[in-house]
Every structure is written in structure tokens, then in C-alpha cells.
Amino acid sequence: MKLRRVVITGLGALTPIGNDCPTFWENLLSGVSGAGPITRFDASCFRTRFACEVKQFDILRYVNLKESRKMDLFTQFAVAAADEAIEMSRLKDGSTDLKRVGVIFSTGMGGCGSFYEETKNLDMQDPKLSPFFVTRVISDIASGHIAIRHGFMGLNYSISSACASSANAIADAFTNIRIGKADAIIAGGAEAPITPPGVLGFNASHALSTRNEEPEKASRPFDRDRDGFVMGEGAGALVLEEYEHAIRRGAPILAEIVGSGMSADAYHITLPHPEGIGAALSMRYALEDAGITTDEVGFINTHGTSTPAGDLAEINAIRTLFGEGMSKVALTSNKSAIGHLLGAAGAVEAIATVFSLREGIIPPTCNVENLDEKMPPEMQLVRDKAQKKDIRYALSNSFGFGGHNITLLLKRYDEQ
């Protein structure tokens, strides 16, 4: 089978530092932090009292009040991000067969806010739930809403692989277009986990930072004093499209996806393998998929969560795979600014990677005051301020509880 080329023609981002792609990118380059005290509920008695929340989001800009009440917040975020990506791609210009357009939109925790609100005061003597309870909670519903909203009748589903979910969605979309199952797919993920159970649950697993006095400095990937990740929320959406299809309709081509890799740590339900064996495999598989070598990669957008175990495992994986060539590869972590968007992280970070390829600039990793002495000296971490670099190929890593590893390999698009 001759595999088809896959390009990216639209982007949509709803993040703690910007509710659209241009604002998100500008603030990411400037090192703006999205962290602050939790406003969604009273967290005064919690071990962690801060998060990276989306600001000033108004779902009524997208749907009417009646429709909004049928959606959990994660679905609302998904609809907003998808709208931006679809508009950018001009996918609904009348030249596209909507029966050949799919949606793969993922989440890690789904409608956890709706589940909590509906069940916390459930009276078992007179039990009642909203008729929209199930359709607000289930994880596949965001992809359903997007398809219904835009009339896309192609393949449609969700993937849940924890914090790798939206990267997994992009990898699946890439594969399906490549083998001819669709001409275009809206892929990405959304998450709205800043709820009492969400924060308490991650506190219980000792995954969250407790730097309550300095929330804007709490997400510090690769720093010696990191103490856990900062919970975030939002959504990222990408329009993936078959290359010839995009060319025929004059779509804006932003970048190309040329490889994806997937692996499992097969080690622990929450901890990565300390040597990063699974992460190294996913990166290697992505390179093999595209038929390129490590020497051609100029940038890695790391998973970089700011957890003691996770950051070191990822760097060990990069050192294992790249060897001495690690010194030529620039690294950064977007989570230092936006926090960890869980199931939406991979898509939002893939969007940032597209911008880096197009503009030749890498956003800084914030809050690295004292690089962990366990990090190798050849590590080229972009710190303090954005760094200009001509990049042709970039990797974007996403890893999740359960040992899920996804790597996307993106290529700069040079018109020929």
C-alpha cells in the first residue's frame, strides 16, 4: 500500500494562557504563567490550592444556553477549540465531501465535573439524575458534538490513554488518513479536571505540587526543587488532511506529520520506568515510521511534567536514544507555563510544536532556577527566554498513567 502524506491545515487552542492560538503562542513565548488560586470551588482546605484555569471563557459565544446545558465543561472546551481549527483550515469551503471527514477527540477524565455535581447530593430514597447525565459524562461525547455541529459523517470516536490521550488521537488520525480511511480528521483532546475529586485524587497520589505561596513558580520541569505537576485545563484541536486534498482546495498547510510511535512501559500504574525504556521506544518508533535518524531532529517538545520521577525518566530516554547527539537537540516543556492539561496536553503541545517549526523559535521552560544535578551536562534545555532555531523535524512527547507513551514526529512544511 502506498501511504498518503498527511498535513496540518488548522489549529485551535483554549488554554490557561490564551483562548485562541495567537494569544496562546504569544504568551507561551513570553513565559507567561497560567497558574493561580483555584476559583472553581473553595480549595482552602486542600493540600494543593492552585491550578492553571482557563480564564474568561464564554460558551455562549459558540452555542446557545439550551445547548450549553447539555455539555460538561470539557465538551464546551472541545467545541470552542474545534471551531477555531475548522475555521482556520477553511474545511467547510464546499469542496470537501463531509462523509470523508472524521473526528477523533479524546479526554483523560471526561465529564468528571458533571459526575461530581450530579451525584454529590444524590438522595437514595428518591434518586433522580438529569436526562443529560450520561451524555455529559461519557468520554466520547465531545467528538459526537463536533461531528453533529459541523456535519462530519466520517469515522468518529474517542481514545482514552490518560495524559497521552490527545496525542493518541492525533496519531490515530494520522494513520487513518495515511491509509485512506478519511480525507480529513479533526483530532485533539479536552479536559476540565479542576474539581474537588480531581484535585483530591491527584493529591492522594502525591502527583501535584503544593507550592501554594508561589503558584506561578510551581511548575518547574527539570528543576532541582520540583515537587509535582500543576493541574491545568483546556483543549487543543488540529485539522489533519491528506496532502493532495489540501492542495486541491488551496488549504493553508501549516506543517506535516511524518511519523508516530506508541509503546508501553509495562512497569507501574503511575511511575514511568526510571530508565525511560518505554519513552525511548516510542521516540524510536516515530523516527522509524518516518525513515529518519536522530541527527535530523532539532527539537523535542518534552512531556516535562515537573514531577521528580517523570522528568528524569524522559531525559534518560532521550539520552539513551540520541547518545552524543543529544547536545544538538533543543528541549523545552510547555507545561511550565500552562500546567498539565492531562488528556488535552498532547494536542496543545503539538500545536506549540507546529508554531516552533513555522516560526523557527522555541518557547522557554519557565522556573528553572537550579537545573537538577541528575540531568546530563549535554542537555540543551531552553530556559529563561525563547530561542531562535531553524528546525526541520521536531518530536512531541506525551506519556500517561498506566505506562502509555506516544510520540509525534512533525516536519516543517516547505512549499515546493
The residues carrying an active-site annotation are 163, 303, 340
Q: Which of 324, 317, 266, 260 is nearest to 290 (CA)?
A: 260
Neighbouring C-alpha atoms within 13 Å toward the C-beta of 379: 24
359 phi, psi to nearest 5 deg: -100, -5
* Interatomic CA distance for residues 150 and 351, integer angstroms: 22
Q: 300 in helix, strand or coil?
A: strand
Beta bridge partners of 262: 406
C-alpha cell of residue 41: 470551588
* Interatomic CA distance for residues 400 and 375, integer angstroms: 22
Instruction: Specify the amino acid at residue 416.
Output: Q
* Interatomic CA distance for residues 272 and 282, integer angstroms: 13
Q: Which of 207, 197, 414 is nearest to 306 (CA)?
A: 207
* Interatomic CA distance for residues 381 and 332, integer angstroms: 6
C-alpha cell of residue 174: 494520522
C-alpha cell of residue 334: 510547555
- The most distant pair of C-alpha atoms in the chain lies apart, rounded to whole Å, by 69
* Interatomic CA distance for residues 219 and 346, integer angstroms: 17
Cα→Cα distances 198→51, 191, 293, Å? 11, 11, 40
* Interatomic CA distance for residues 362 and 357, integer angstroms: 9
Contacts of 201 (CB under 8 A, 6+ apart): none
For the chain, how far is it from start to end, CA to CA, in angstroms? Answer: 25
* Interatomic CA distance for residues 244 and 100, integer angstroms: 14
* Interatomic CA distance for residues 353 and 254, integer angstroms: 11
Rg over CA atoms, the chain: 20
C-alpha cell of residue 62: 459558540
